[in-house]
Amino acid sequence: MGLLRELWEAFRGAMVTIGDVVLFLGRLLAYTPASFRRFGLIVHQIYNAGALSLVIIMLCGLFVGMVLGLQGFDLLQRFGSEQSLGTAAALGLLKELGPVVTALLFSGRAGTALASEIGLMRATDQLSAIQMMAVDPVRRVCVPRFVGGIIAMPLLAVIFSAIGIYGAQLVGVQMMGVDSGQFWSQMRASVEVRDVMEGVIKSCVFGVACSLIAVYEGFNAIPTAEGVGRATTRTVVISAVVTLLLDYMLTAALL
Amino acid sequence: MAEDPQAATPAAAVDGENIVEIRNLQYGVAQREIFRDLNISIRRGRVTAIMGPSGTGKTTLLRLITGQIFPDRGSVIVDGAEPKRLNRAELYALRQRMGMLFQNGALLTDLNVFENVAFPVREHTDLPERLIRHLVLTKLHAVGLRGAAEMIPAELSGGMGRRVALARAMVMDPKMLIYDEPFAGLDPISLGVVLRLIRHMNDALGITSIVVSHDVKEISSVADESYLLSGGQVVASGTPKELQRSQSEVVRQFMEGLADGPVPFHYPAPDYATQLLAREEP
C-alpha cells in the first residue's frame, strides 16, 4: 500500500507540474504577439542565446561532421559505395544530428544561462521589484527570452549542419580521397527539400521545448543558491530527455 | 500611547485620512501563525515606522499591503481598495500608486543606473526619449546620483544602490513610498543620506512613507508615528518619543536592545542538563 501511495503521489506531482507548465506556456504565448512591438528586447535575447552560442555550435558541428565523415567512409567502403558519403552525411546532419545535438548544446549553454539568470533575479528580489512596478515579469522577463530562444535555435541548427557537412567533406574528400564531384552531386541529387524541412521543424519544436523549460525552471526556482543550482541542473536534464523523446515522436510522424 | 491591539489606531485618524487600514488581520504560513488580530492605520502624508524584532513578519506585512500575498482573515485596505478583491489589472493600477524600496535595492542587474530608473516610465508610458531623459536625470539629481547614470548596479556601493532604487521608486510620482529595511548594511554616511532622503522626499513630494526597520534610533529620528510588532500583534504604537517613554517590558527590551526579556535570548529547547547527559543524538 505504501508503494502504491508513493507511486500515486509521484504521478499526481508529475501531472500537477505538467499542468503548471502548460498554463505557463499559455501565459507566454498570450504575451508573444505583443512582444514583437518591442523587438529590441527580443534581438538582445537572440544575441544572448544565439550569437553567444555560435562558437561552441560551430566547433561541435565541425567535429561531429568529421566523425560522421570517418565513420561513414568506413561503413560505405565495405559496400563499395563511398561516393555516397555526401548523401549520408547531409541526411544524417540535416534530419537528426543537426537539430538534436544543437538542442542538447543549446540547453547546456543558453538554457542554463537563462534559468540561472531568471532564478537569480528571483533570489535577489528583481522579479518582485518588477511586479511592484506594476509590470508582469512573465511579459517583461520571460517572453523575450522565450521568443529569442525559439528564433535562435533553428538558426543555430542550420549553422551546425552546414559546418558539419563541411567537416564530413574535409575528412571524406580531403583526407580519405572520395571524389569531390561525386560527394557534392550525390548529395544534391538525393537530399530533398522535405529532408531540410524535417530538420527545420524539429529544431523549431526543440527550440520551443528547451526555451520553455529554461524560463519555467528559472522563473519557479527556489530563491536560494541551492534552488538556483537545482533549477539549472533540471533545465539541462529535462531538456535532454524531452529533446530525445520529441525527436522520436517527430521522426515517426514525419517519415 | 496605545499598548493593546484594539487601541493601536491613532484616535484622531478617520478613514479618509488613512491611506492604509489593516483590520483584524490574520495570516499564517503552513502551521505557523505570523499575525493574529493585527490592526494598523497609516495616515496620509506621514512617515510611519513599523518596528519589531527579526522574524516578527515586518516584511510579510509589506507584502500584504502591496498585494503580493493576501490575508487569511481580516482586511487590508490600501488607498480605498482591497488588494485581495482586485483582478491583476486593478492590482497593477494600485501598485502604480506605490513605490517600494527593497532591502537590497533589487536593481535590475542587466540595466545601467539610468535604465533602471527609466524602467517603469518606459513600461507604462510612451513618452519621448527627451522627456524620459529629463525625468530620470531629475530623480537621479534628487538622490545625488546624476553623475552615476551610466554606471551598472555591480559598480555601486550599498548606499548608492539604495538611492538609485529610491529614485526608481519615485519616478512615477507615487502616493506612497514603502521602505523595507532601508538602513541594513549601510555605513554611517550612507545611512544619514538615506534617512535625510526619506524625510525630505516625504515632505517635498507630499507623499506617505512606510518604513520597516529594526534600527530604532535611526528610524525614530524621522518617523511621525511608530508601530511596534511582536508575537504577531501590535504591542505598542505612538510617536517615537512616546515609545521611548513606555514602561512596557517588551517595548523597553526592543528600544534599549536588551538581549533577554519577553523576547527570550534562547530559542525554546529541552532542559540543558538533560540534553547534555542524554546518549542519543542530538
Count other C-beta atoms under 10 Å from residue B143's C-beta: 23
Q: Does residue B1 have a pLDDT over 50?
A: no
Grid cell at residue A31: 504575451
Residue B222 pLDDT grade (very low, low, confident, very high; cuts 50, 70, 90): confident
Domain membership flag for residue B69: yes
Distance CA B184, CA B203 (A): 23
Distance CA B45, CA B18 (A): 9
Domain membership flag for residue A199: yes
Cα B73 to chain centroid distance, Å, stands at 22
CB contact under 8 A, B95 and A134: yes
CB contact under 8 A, B106 and A129: yes
Residue B272: is it exposed, middle or buried by C-beta count within 10 angstroms (0-12/13-18/19+)?
Answer: exposed
Whole-number percent of chain B with pLDDT over 70: 90
Model pTM above 0.80: yes
Whole-number percent of chain A with pLDDT over 90: 92
Mean predicted confidence (pLDDT) in B76-86: 90
CB contact under 8 A, A126 and B104: no
Number of domains in chain B: 1
Q: Does residue B2 have a pLDDT over 60?
A: no
Residue B9 pLDDT grade (very low, low, confident, very high; cuts 50, 70, 90): very low
CB contact under 8 A, B120 and A134: yes
Domain membership flag for residue B282: no
- List CB contacts (< 8 A) between A124 and chain B: 104, 106, 109
Residue B274 has what pLDDT?
85
Mean predicted confidence (pLDDT) in B150-171: 90
Query: Which amino acid belongs to residue A222?
Result: I
CB contact under 8 A, A124 and B109: yes
Chain A nearest-CA distance from B241, in A, is 33
Residue A61 has what pLDDT?
95
Domain membership flag for residue B183: yes
Residue B238 pLDDT grade (very low, low, confident, very high; cuts 50, 70, 90): confident
Q: Does residue B16 have a pLDDT over 80?
A: no
Chain B nearest-CA distance from A44, in A, is 11
CB contact under 8 A, B123 and A135: yes
End-to-end CA distance of chain A: 44
Q: Mean pLDDT lowest for which of A60-64, B199-203, B229-233? A: B229-233
Domain membership flag for residue A212: yes
Number of domains in chain A: 1
Residue A159 pLDDT grade (very low, low, confident, very high; cuts 50, 70, 90): very high
Q: Mean pLDDT lowest for which of A34-43, B44-53, B249-258? A: B249-258
Mean predicted confidence (pLDDT) in A59-87: 92
Give the residue from B92, B156, B170 with the most A CB atoms within 10 Å of its CB, the best one to mutate. Answer: B92
Domain membership flag for residue A53: yes
Give the three-class secondary structure for B72: coil
CB contact under 8 A, A129 and B103: no
Whether B95 and chain A come into contact, CB under 8 Å, resolves to: yes
Chain B nearest-CA distance from A89, in A, is 42
Residue B51 pLDDT grade (very low, low, confident, very high; cuts 50, 70, 90): confident
List the domain range (segments joined by +) for residue B255.
5-277
Q: Does residue B45 have a pLDDT over 80?
A: yes
Q: Please count the residue pairs, one from chain A and one from chain B, whose beta carbons lie less than 8 angstroms apart.
A: 55
End-to-end CA distance of chain B: 46
Q: Does residue B4 have a pLDDT over 50?
A: no
Grid cell at residue A118: 531568471
Domain membership flag for residue A237: yes
Measured between CB atoms, which of A126, A134, A140 is closest to B106?
A126
Q: Does residue B237 have a pLDDT over 90?
A: no
Whether B123 and chain A come into contact, CB under 8 Å, resolves to: yes
Grid cell at residue B106: 533589487
ipTM for the complex shown:
0.80
Domain membership flag for residue A25: no
* pLDDT tens string B108-136: 998 999 999 999 999 999 999 999 999 99
Query: Which amino acid belongs to residue B207?
Result: I
Q: What residues contact B152, with CB distance under 8 A and at least 6 apart?
A: B109, B111, B112, B113
- List CB contacts (< 8 A) between B96 and chain A: 134
Q: Does residue B6 have a pLDDT over 70?
A: no
CB contact under 8 A, A124 and B100: no
* B positions 143-172 inside 8 Å of A (CB): 165, 168, 172
Domain membership flag for residue B216: yes
Give the residue from B78, B110, B173 with the most A CB atoms within 10 Å of its CB, the best one to mutate. Answer: B110
Q: Kindly report the CA angle at A239 between A235 and A240, in degrees rounded to 5? A: 120
Residue B10 has what pLDDT?
42
Residue B280 has what pLDDT?
67
Residue B282 pLDDT grade (very low, low, confident, very high; cuts 50, 70, 90): low
Instruction: Write down the mean pLDDT value for chain B.
Output: 84
Burial track A66-76 (b if 16+ CB lie within 10 A, e otherwise): bebbbebbeeb
More confident residue, B36 or B280: B36
Residue B3 pLDDT grade (very low, low, confident, very high; cuts 50, 70, 90): very low
Q: Does residue A82 have a pLDDT over 90?
A: no
| Range with top average pLDDT, A145-154, B37-46, B54-63 | A145-154
Whole-number percent of chain B with pLDDT over 90: 24
Residue A50 has what pLDDT?
92
Residue A185 has what pLDDT?
93
More confident residue, B130 or B246: B130
Residue B5 has what pLDDT?
42
List the domain range (segments joined by +) for residue A133.
40-254
